[in-house]
Structure 1
């Protein structure tokens, strides 16, 4: 039995369906991210789990218990908001202790749990500091400690790192994942940041227009996207229109001047989806011309115009001479490194 289960959950506001037929089983201790663009329904889904919104239909169960009629404060969930929502008139320790006070935890136990929670997020010695005297990263840690100190059955994170600068956000991602693994807390993260979802998650739920596009591990969703939306949203990708040529004894997959043995199960027009870092420059393959070459430190990014349309190629900076802008090249890749979808490229 799933630890947390969403069974055909939907949410409507008037005639508008914001979340539709959302089904997901989350295992105990799992870290799952809801990933998608603004307006895709991910935050609405999180709010239904938290109890701030009632589903229009469907069920949400925690350890088999239906949460539909359970008040948010009685669900035993920890929540970290994008804005952190700290009480400005309370110290860090008082903010963290608030949930324990509401649960009438004895004073001595409360003090010890607050101390341990702040130490866990790297804020030992900051107990008496007020939010206005703390950086954004420190406030985020206080909010996380406040959510964890109550020992929640599920931790809900609503884009908690989006207000941090890039370097601090990356460091907090590492710390958050380490804390989650140490505690084994079942965690749901809402984010629009693909790198964040891939860095933190055991599984990713990719959403678009209120529906699930794909559920899978970060590697599965990146390397085997289930739709054109997932392919384009989760990192950079190249989509090439191709066909299955069965005029010869052995079927061939053909895209311009690139070809390879055709995989089983496909016929007619198809779309090849291939990540930029999986494409190489070779003596044979798809004819292309380098339009722009950009140096990005540890790798080069090439924008190309190929016989099958625009293409992006990423090559590691290995010290070797790279093609120049205006050079004619051939783009090649292994069949194992691409994914295939029925129908032509959009």
Structure 2
């Protein structure tokens, strides 16, 4: 039995279906991210787990217990909102202690747990600080400590890092993952940030228009996207139209002037999906011309025009000479690095 299970969960508002047939089994201690664009249903799904919204159909079970009719306060879940929702008239310690007071935890035990929670998020010594005198990152840590101090069975995170600047957001991602690994709390994160989902998650649930597109590890969803949507949404990708030449022996998969032995069972017309870093410059392969060359520190980004349309190539900056703008090149890649899908269909 899964620790947390969503079984055929759906949500409708009037005639509009916002979440449709959402099924997921979460193991104890897993870090799961719901990833997708605005309006894909990820926050609605989180709110149904939290109990703020009631599913129109399906069941949500925690350790076999049906949560569908359980009041949010009785579910034993910790929640960190995008806005942090700190009480401005309370100190950091008082904010963290609030949930414990509601659970009638004794004063001595409260003080001990609040101190430990603030220390865990790096805020020892900030107990008497009010939110207005704290940075965004510090407020985020208080909100996280408040959610964790009640020792929740599941921690729900609704885009908690989206208000932070890029550098602090990256630092908080590292801290959040370290904290989660240390305490082992089952965690579900809602995010539209692909890098955040890949950095933090054990598994990613990619969503589009209220439905699950793919569930897999960060590497699986990135390297083997299950649909055109996942391929395009999760990082940069190149799509090349290809066909199978069955007159050749053995049959060849052909995209412009690039070709390789055709994989077994491939249809006659397919789309090749390739991540930019999997493409190399070579003596033979797909004919291309460098349109733009951009230096990005640890790597170069090349925008190319090819026989099969535009392409992006990313090459690590290893100090070797790189082709310049306007230069004719050939693009090559390994068969095992590409994903194939029937043209107009799923992978």
Task: Tell me the TM-score normalised to structure 1 length.
Answer: 0.99
Kept after mapping to 2: 8 A contact 1:271/1:341: yes
Question: Secondary structure, in 3 states, of the residue corresponding to 2:172?
Answer: helix
| Distance (Å, rounded) in 2 between the aligned partners of 1:344 and 1:32 | 30
Question: Secondary structure, in 3 states, of the residue corresponding to 1:39?
Answer: coil
| Distance (Å, rounded) in 2 between the aligned partners of 1:69 and 1:209 | 26
Tell me what 1:169 maps to.
169
1:320, distance to aligned residue in structure 2 (A): 1.1
Q: How does 1:27-38 map to 2 (within 5 A)?
A: 27-38=27-38
| Distance (Å, rounded) in 1 between the aligned partners of 2:249 and 2:307 | 26
Q: How does 1:56-67 map to 2 (within 5 A)?
A: 56-67=56-67
| Distance (Å, rounded) in 2 between the aligned partners of 1:344 and 1:281 | 28
Tell me what 1:123 maps to.
123
| Distance (Å, rounded) in 1 between the aligned partners of 2:59 and 2:264 | 39
Kept after mapping to 2: 8 A contact 1:241/1:344: no
Tell me what 1:248 maps to.
248
| Distance (Å, rounded) in 1 between the aligned partners of 2:58 and 2:139 | 36
Question: Secondary structure, in 3 states, of the residue corresponding to 2:162?
Answer: coil
Tell me what 2:230 maps to.
230
| Distance (Å, rounded) in 2 between the aligned partners of 1:344 and 1:198 | 27
| Distance (Å, rounded) in 2 between the aligned partners of 1:262 and 1:93 | 63
Tell me what 1:3 maps to.
3
Kept after mapping to 2: 8 A contact 1:241/1:345: no
Tell me what 1:342 maps to.
342
1:249, distance to aligned residue in structure 2 (A): 2.5
1:151, distance to aligned residue in structure 2 (A): 0.2
| Distance (Å, rounded) in 2 between the aligned partners of 1:345 and 1:177 | 36
1:19, distance to aligned residue in structure 2 (A): 0.3
Kept after mapping to 2: 8 A contact 1:239/1:274: yes
Question: Secondary structure, in 3 states, of the residue corresponding to 2:284?
Answer: strand
1:343, distance to aligned residue in structure 2 (A): 1.4
| Distance (Å, rounded) in 2 between the aligned partners of 1:130 and 1:256 | 63
Kept after mapping to 1: 8 A contact 2:253/2:261: yes
1:344, distance to aligned residue in structure 2 (A): 5.3
| Distance (Å, rounded) in 1 between the aligned partners of 2:241 and 2:248 | 20
Kept after mapping to 1: 8 A contact 2:9/2:20: yes
| Distance (Å, rounded) in 2 between the aligned partners of 1:48 and 1:69 | 11
CA gap 1:317/1:250 in 2 versus in 1, 3 angstroms: same
Tell me what 1:295 maps to.
295
Structure 1, unaligned runs of 5 or more: none
Kept after mapping to 2: 8 A contact 1:21/1:211: yes
Q: How does 1:256-295 map to 2 (within 5 A)?
A: 256-295=256-295
Tell me what 1:309 maps to.
309
| Distance (Å, rounded) in 2 between the aligned partners of 1:57 and 1:344 | 31
Write the deviation string for residues 261-310 of structure 1: whole angstroms up to 9, x where unpaired: 11112121101000000000000000000000001111110000000000
Kept after mapping to 2: 8 A contact 1:46/1:156: yes
Write the deviation string for residues 158-216 of structure 1: whole angstroms up to 9, x where unpaired: 00000000000000000000000000000000000000000000000000000000000
Structure 2, unaligned runs of 5 or more: none
2:177 paired with 1:185? no
| Distance (Å, rounded) in 1 between the aligned partners of 2:268 and 2:320 | 40
Question: Secondary structure, in 3 states, of the residue corresponding to 2:272?
Answer: strand
Kept after mapping to 1: 8 A contact 2:227/2:345: no
Kept after mapping to 1: 8 A contact 2:36/2:191: yes
2:15 paired with 1:50? no
Kept after mapping to 2: 8 A contact 1:59/1:68: yes
Question: Secondary structure, in 3 states, of the residue corresponding to 1:325?
Answer: coil
Kept after mapping to 2: 8 A contact 1:205/1:216: yes
| Distance (Å, rounded) in 1 between the aligned partners of 2:65 and 2:175 | 32
- Please tell me the root mean square deviation across aligned C-alpha atoms, in Å: 0.9
Tell me what 1:76 maps to.
76
Tell me what 2:331 maps to.
331
| Distance (Å, rounded) in 2 between the aligned partners of 1:218 and 1:265 | 27
Aligned residues: 346
Tell me what 1:114 maps to.
114
Tell me what 2:194 maps to.
194
